[in-house]
Structure 1
């Protein structure tokens, strides 16, 4: 009878140890969700505000030739904006290229039809 109890206790102990929370597996971070539809109001406006409007505001400063504070202003010059934000020799912002994800979002916005809302 003692041998039988020892087997049960050992089996239960092994099960409990196997079910412990310690694991060598690493859960990858959850990526930041990207809106399914990129619009000026839900994405591009914030990118422009965070990276461009300190100079391309109303009024413009630091020699910026145009303002990028409205949908129509950004839409009108989107090709110039994309060229400059991807330029390694003459980047905008002048401090250096903004993050690739922001540049990709602006390109996707253009590719998807320059939606406002």
Structure 2
């Protein structure tokens, strides 16, 4: 009977030691301190947004703007300003008064621009 108690105590001792040396990383999520969606990809103006703007907007929103366009969209700061102050996201998503005027740009391009804005307009 005494050997059974000693065996149980040793087993309990090893169990406690094994659990106390765990790094607790398995199964634990990492804390996200920047509040970004972990599934989103980091976007940049140069690589992702500038090509969309060049292909869809600069025929009118160049410097100087043409065809009665109210502003230029030739730089990051001008595109950012248009999103923040001139409802650019609403205009590119409008079905009644779309930008560009010849029809909506692809949904994937519009979503990229919106996500770039949500990420804080990275360069």
- The TM-score by the shorter chain falls in which range? 0.5 to 0.7
Question: Structure 2: how far apart are the matches of 1:77 and 1:62?
Answer: 17
Give me the whole-angstrom Cα distance separating, in 2, the residues matched to 1:59 and 1:77: 15
Q: Give, in whole Å, the separation in 2 of the partners of 1:62 and 1:44.
A: 22
Identify which of 36, 42, 49 aligns with 2:47.
42
**In the alignment, does 2:115 pair up with 1:108?**
yes
User: How many residues are paired up?
Assistant: 82
Cα-to-partner distance string for 1:36-56 (whole Å, 9 max, x where unaligned): 211111111110000001100
- 1:62 is matched with which residue? 67
1:78 Cα deviation from its structure 2 partner: 1.2
State the alpha-carbon separation in 2 of the partners of residues 39 and 107 from structure 1.
12
Unaligned runs of 5+ in 1: 1-34
- Moved >3 Å (runs of 4+): none
CA distance in 2, matches of 1:77, 1:65: 10
The equivalent residue for 2:33 is none
**Partner in structure 1 of residue 97 of structure 2:** 90
TM-score by structure 2 length? 0.64
SS at match of 2:55: helix
Structure 1 length-normalised TM = 0.67
Q: For residues 103 and 59 of structure 2, what CA distance do their matches in structure 1 show? A: 15
For 1:36 and 1:108, how far apart are their aligned partners in 2?
A: 9
Runs of 5+ consecutive residues of structure 2 not aligned to the other structure: 1-39
